[in-house]
Amino acid sequence: MRRSLIGLTALTLAFAADLGAQASQFGIRGLGYPGSSYSARARAMGGATALFDPESALNPAAVGSLGEVTAAFSILNDTRTIDGPAGGGNIHGMRFPLFSVAGPVRNLPLSFGISATTYMSRDFGTAFADTVIMRGVPTPVRDTLRADGGMNDLRGTVAWRIDSRTTVGGAFHAYTGVTRMQRVSVFEDTGYVSVTERSEVSASGAGFDLGIIKRLAPHLTVAGVIRSDGAVTVRRDSIAASEYQVNLPLSVAAGVQLRTAPRLLLAAQGRWAGWSSANDGITGAGGVGAVNTWELGVGGEYIRNLEKPYRLPLRFGVRHATLPFPLVTGHDPKETVASLGTAFLFAKGQGGADLTLERAWRGDGTGFTEQAWMFSFTATLRPTRRVR
């Protein structure tokens, strides 16, 4: 065939007028659109508290703050308006980006945790027009390409409470996933039958991270994480000859949390990831490449009822970040997200729910833009908690 799916899975896609159910048009290139390891609570505060949040999967030391076994499950629902040089449209999607179980070890200063998060999402649909030479005659053809899947991050965590002020933690990450791709070519000349190609692209790898949370003063806490994601091996249809390797980033993150008053918590966080390490693997497979990314988030929480702090607190935040895989060389995509959220308990305190509404703006300066409303919900269950 004139273009094989191995070329497509090598991340050399053209862009088109139609885009269908997808995580983001900024996830078509490279390995996809970065997933979120934030719970709804952390998302509500612009990601600023994620390093301290045991229900997020960012800092392994955070699970040391749990006083009981806690299970958390997140849902993310979004509606997006997408525009590009060839056209635009509206898209609706639902994902399940985070699941975790964590808790303390009885009679020991240790806590454990396991989690599953979306590392990269590659859900998209695109269509584009082309012209091929058939029996010496230029023949118009319309191609559609759909992908469903991505990479997941499976994490095992151990945290150690050194003393009442310091907790450290470490985690092992296993990356795995399959993307199912289908391409259909329909010729304008009805004398030619349509052509369908299908392929499965698998990825696997491993990494680790180390984290710390330190209380510097009664109302001031800091946290940090260093993480090495290692590398992933990408293979099409289990064919060894199609295999290639992509180096994943080394990343660092730091955050601060300050309770300025009994009712008010303020926080800030910064993250940097060296995604340029993936550039050689992606360009070697025919892709555009990868760039380093950074993220800054600020936010806070206002407690309305000090006796029942989990009864509808007001949470707010803003986050700005760059994305690792440009659509056009030299134009790095960026996103800005503003958020509001709240929470409540149910089942007499054994269950809880965090709810967050976000407004996101994405673009790269070349005519590709997105605006999105995102609603996230994290349900938590604490079966060993005493009924209130």
Express each pLDDT in 178-201 by its tens digit. Answer: 989 888 989 888 888 888 888 898
Assign 357 a pLDDT band (cuts: 50, 70, 90).
very high
| Domain membership flag for residue 387 | no
pLDDT at 7: 38
With contact defined as beta carbons under 8 Å apart, do 37 and 54 qualify?
no
Give the least confident one: 79-83, 292-296, 302-306: 79-83
**Cβ-based burial of 290 (10 A; exposed 0-12, middle 13-18, buried ≥19):** buried
With contact defined as beta carbons under 8 Å apart, do 145 and 182 qualify?
yes
CA torsion, points 278, 38, 52, 295, in degrees to nearest 10?
50
Listed ranges 24-33, 75-84, 233-242, 261-270; the one with the highest mean pLDDT: 261-270
∠ at Cα 163 (162, 164), nearest 5°?
Answer: 140
Q: Is the pLDDT of residue 19 over 80?
A: no
3-state secondary structure of 312: coil
Q: Is the pLDDT of residue 10 over 60?
A: no
| Domain membership flag for residue 169 | yes
Higher pLDDT, 57 or 130: 57
Total domains present in the chain: 1
**Cβ-based burial of 188 (10 A; exposed 0-12, middle 13-18, buried ≥19):** exposed
The per-residue pLDDT for range 131-159, each reduced to its tens digit, is 888 888 888 888 888 888 889 999 999 99
| Domain membership flag for residue 386 | no
What whole-number distance in Å separates Cα of residue 183 and Cα of residue 142?
10
With contact defined as beta carbons under 8 Å apart, do 380 and 71 qualify?
yes
pLDDT at 194: 87
Q: Is the pLDDT of residue 9 over 60?
A: no
* Mean pLDDT (whole number) for 326-343: 93
Assign 6 a pLDDT band (cuts: 50, 70, 90).
very low
pLDDT at 276: 94
* Mean pLDDT (whole number) for 309-332: 93
Q: Is the pLDDT of residue 295 over 90?
A: yes
Q: Give the domain CATH number at 255.
A: 2.40.160.60
Residue % of the chain over a pLDDT of 90:
60
Q: Is the pLDDT of residue 5 over 90?
A: no
pLDDT at 271: 97
| Domain membership flag for residue 315 | yes
What whole-number distance in Å separates Cα of residue 45 and Cα of residue 311?
17
The chain-wide mean pLDDT, for the chain, equals 88
What whole-number distance in Å separates Cα of residue 350 and Cα of residue 345?
8
Higher pLDDT, 20 or 216: 216
What whole-number distance in Å separates Cα of residue 76 and Cα of residue 92?
11
Give the least confident one: 20-24, 210-214, 324-328, 347-351: 20-24
With contact defined as beta carbons under 8 Å apart, do 147 and 184 qualify?
no
* Mean pLDDT (whole number) for 57-81: 94
Listed ranges 118-122, 161-165, 235-239, 364-368; the one with the highest mean pLDDT: 161-165
Q: Is the pLDDT of residue 217 over 70?
A: yes
In which domain, by residue range, is 79 found?
5-381
pLDDT at 308: 87
Higher pLDDT, 296 or 2: 296
- 219 phi/psi in degrees, rounded to 5: -115, 10
Q: Which two tokens stand for residue 10?
A: 């090598």
Q: What is the pTM of this model?
A: 0.87
Nearest by Cα to 161 from 61, 69, 56, 71:
61
Q: Is the pLDDT of residue 84 over 90?
A: no
* Mean pLDDT (whole number) for 87-96: 82
Give the least confident one: 67-71, 238-242, 313-317: 238-242
